Structure 1
Amino acid sequence: MADALEAMKALIEEINQHNYAYYTLDQPTIDDAEWDKLYDRLVALERETGVVLPNSPTQRVGGELLKGFDVHKHRARLWSLDKAQNHTDLMAWHNRAQRLVNDYNSRHPEAPLPPLSFVLELKFDGLTLNLTYEDGKLVQAATRGNGAVGEGILPQVKTIRSIPLEIPYRDGVIEVQGEGIMQLSVLEEYNKTAAEPLKNARNAAAGALRNLNPRVTASRRLTAYFYNIGYSEGLNFKDHRQMVEFLRENRFKVSPYVHFYDSIDAVAEQLEHVASMRHTFDFLIDGLVVKITDMRTREVLGYTDKFPRWAVAFKFAAEEAVTTLLSVSWEVGRTGKITPVAKVEPVDIAGVTVQNCTLNNIGDIERKNLKHALGTEVYIRRSNDVIPEILGKVTEAMDGEEITYPDHCPSCGSVLELKGAHLFCLNRLDCRPQLIGRITHFASRDAMDIETFSVMTAEQLYQELGVRDPADLYYLRFDDLIKLARFGEKKANNLLASLEKSKQCDLASFLFALGIPNTGKTTTRVLADHYRSLDKLMQAAPEELVMLSDIGGIVADSIVTFFRDPTIQRSIERMLQAGVTPVSEEAPVIVHTDNPFFGKTIVLTGTLTSMSRDEAGSKLEAMGAKLTGSVSKKTDIVIAGEKAGSKLAKAQQLGIRIIDDEQELLRLLGEA
């Protein structure tokens, strides 16, 4: 037995080495027949001994269909990147970073940061992967999710042969970040024999990695490129070069294009060069990523609420094509807005076949001279590789058929109302697409996160059980669900369990789920953090709301009107009666009341260099300050950063105390 185990270990090491040479280095060391002999011998030994070692290549593809994806909490956040669309945006990012470095160096002359240098990497268009290795062994793989929590997809990721199941580094836990992709040549070969050809490489990769059957994932022959160590227990890198070398030494596939530059001008020049040759790569990219090379500089620059300050994504310019406008249909959204959707003659843009295009509203149609464009040629653009839009007619002649605007809702037949450039159906209580859209949004991941729920579920519940309002979901019963088509005992119980779980919810998510007009996740988070109570928010007046960050008069009126609607009030009351309990974190406990900001009403304006305004606001609130969005006689202090405007001028007129020295602010915060 011992001899057989040693033979298996030797075979595994040999096969893994050949896999690394073939899939990662693209330098095959043996032919396929020889590799098959080694693999077959390992399989025979595993059958003979009844032992399968954890790192065996025979375990890359599981034999069972998975039941679902488990939630995985990342050890380190996976950040989004701020975007630069052009040279001006790139230089603005660079200048902000340079100012922060200059400011730091002026305060730390004994240990200044080095001159800025940069690394330029391809921005792959696939699915972000976060791999976890413990003592050298791959123990988890997850999607990015919302950056803090993703979905575990280890069985799927193990099918990617360029990803090592074991690495030489064995000193604790590390998280390695990269992108799972399908090469364009592989997609082409796959489609030659596929019963259902895949439309594009990005969706092919994302769909494969989120397929519950690992054999489907394996059939797509994906690969993956890695570019970052997001978390480690003991690793420290001086700069990005060292990190890249670590990845290579540990058998990770690194981008074939990683270039280093000492000046932003050299970066800008190379960006233009790569943009012109993007279609020569055997994979999709939707831009490039520019990062500051030095790790200590990254640490000093830190992060905003959303992005690292030391990196930016340079997005490619839009791509255009000419095709024929075939028809325009009108779709009803959950808010009642009627949106025109254009169908065009299929055309290929950057490897993607485009058939449907965005038309925002009636004003968009008129402005682009499309009123008489049916059957004529139009320009379309696919900007940043997202849903394409129609730019306008190729000719100015009114030589096409007319696009007719509806005066009644295409779903419920109600008379439409024109508000600005948008048409709206006001029948909130009996318009099927609105109701289904509202219920689907309510159950979505960023809202109430009701697992197993989909738009098909919403349509079925609407049609067969009369579900017309999100509150109706909490009054569903097993005996009702079990009678539905495709609703077996297991599915019914799973849905009821998900509904029960969703009752204990975060207030911000609950507010987002309600679908308050003119609000999104950021605004509902601001509302939840400020009021910390659903009842207090429902009683808020417009004058209170406009004092909050990023809430103007229109949004304030939308919030007040929404919560004054008897239908909404009745819906919320039914949810609360069913046990839905929206809660918000308790306000920070103030330990010291003798700080200079305790009890003060403060306005933040302008740009701070050492932290974002949100970060400064959180620190001030933790010290007992009250933040408001406008300057008045009740304001105690105005903190003014760079480019402070009218709020600073008003504070000067009123004689309010102004803190415009960032070093003084840091000292008062206890950070300098």
Structure 2
Amino acid sequence: MDFKEKMGKLITELNNYNYHYYTLDQPLVSDKEYDALYDQLVALEAETGVKLPDSPTQRVGGEILKGFAPHRHLAPLWSLDKAQNIEQLRTWHDRVVRLVNDYNTKNPGNPLPNPCYALELKFDGLTLNLTYQDGKLVQASTRGNGAVGEGILPQVKTIKSVPLTIPYDEGTIEVQGEGIMNLSVLEKYNQTAAEPLKNARNAAAGALRNLSPKVTAERKLNAYFYNVGYSDGITFADHKEMMDFLRENRLKVNPYIFYFEQFDDVMEQLADIEKRRSELDYLIDGAVVKVTDFRIREALGYTDKFPRWAVAYKFEAEETTTVLQSVTWNVGRTGKITPLARVEPVELAGVTVQNCTLNNIGDIERKNLKFALGSRVFIRRSNDVIPEILGKVTEENDGEEILFPVECPSCGFPLEQRGAHLFCNNKTGCKPQIVARITHFASRDAMDIETFSDKTAIQLYEELGVREPADLYTLSFDSLVKLERFGEKKAQNLLDAIEKSKERDLASFLFALGIPNTGKSTTKMLADHYRDLYRVMAATAEELVELPDVGGIVADSIAGYFADPFAQASIEKMLSLGVQAQAPEAPKPVSSDSYFSGKTVVLTGTLHLLTREEATERLEALGAKVTGSVSKKTDLLIAGEKAGSKLAKAQQLGIDILEDEEEFVRLLNE
């Protein structure tokens, strides 16, 4: 195959993907797969010096949709050059510094300042271009091909974060931003949607390019703005001044924007953003680095497609496509039957993925996966957890059927469907349930029986007839030492660890029981509130639902668990064998007259004079409420060294900030 034939094949494939992605809103491949093919084409064009007229490298964006009026932008909407790794990012920075130095050599009488940098999130949504005339929103459009977009004013008007009028009423301006769907909104939407949406990016793009503004309104979209692309009456000295202008004109600016004088600080913040991207309530696929000074921007200028003063740093992809090969069904400690998907191995976020979660049978049906075996599916990985299947690439039922089990795959007991889940109710005779309950009971956050593992639980089940956690306290040295891989030392160590676990407090014991729908924070709250095991066991659902963070489902789960004779007998057996389930220490008196009394406080960054745990304990003793995230309800942020996004958000919200650690300690000691 000669280079033109190879180039033509790549162009045909890429243009087909572009058509489905931009025009039909039906992506056939992930961004990662598209970028790989695009980079092949760029390399081939660079190698041969040939660029065919229909190559996607010769344009920006896609075709205009029929049904929308075209809108010619008053100034071009530029694409951004990409940096795929730190080396490419440093190459971009070195070029900026070189061009600034060259300019200053040629213009010694009016030199440019040293370049400083703004760092912003790169949203994974749909670009918006808003036109305001004399303070009124008169047009909104998509990016289109960078010169002409599609008019979507009625759709954009449904986004409540977009102002219909702004204070600036002295001419015409165009501002650019990103239309997005928050992840929490997407999750809530899919709970009741007849046709669930695959992901937040496609949900936003599909809504904004829907001919019915009513559909757009139902998606409850959001928007952030980051640029003034055109103005006939106002200029800015730097990026910060422009961002201030956007905020002053009621345009929503994302709080995660950082300014740096040194490029090494940009690198450090980039790493922090990538590490914590899963904490955000919206999708990002990277970050954008911009030179802040507008004189430097003007001097650096543009290539045919990109500004030289900005670059997009792409994060490792979190979404791709692969083939769904099979589905197996696993039994958990509560009897819940969970489907596990086996997919064709694929690289995603730096690891090879072969298994994906499907949650439950309701999830399979909502995502149109019932007939998906052998079909290509979207998968997404975030926060280092097992990837999730988002949905099929195509809408057709073109795969084999996923068959739902009617009997427990482990013990053969008839399954019961409760809501979207299947359950095996054979609590006393289903091996995976029993082994999982025993393993959970012995885990670190529960009874913390050292050296215990799921392999130990399986061996005790199979060889010594252990059928419930209470049986652990009946084990003997003579029985353990006879087991395979159990010598005298290992047997004695396990018995010592089991004996020590009898001293665990009430909160640990309640968590160890594995009450459905109840986690560590809830069991600690129960222990602190009731301070006695029998009072917890006697609590009614009506009483429990009045407690903090306990809803109806959790209250019913707790009351129902302790009403079960099997659970009652197991608890009584453990107590008779010496388990103490000790009540927590009486709460220490809380000060009401300190500087921190009644304040909601957030800690961020590195503290050197005391640990984060020590700081939290002392703040709470002085009457403060310590939380993990910054919001409008936050009264004070304690910012240690290398404080990042929380500090930026606190500054954006006008929250009091204490950055002097010595002053912080002095106030604690007052």
Task: Answer whether TM exceeds 0.5 for this pair.
Answer: no
TM-score range, shorter chain: 0.3 to 0.5
Q: Which has the larger radius of gyration?
A: 2
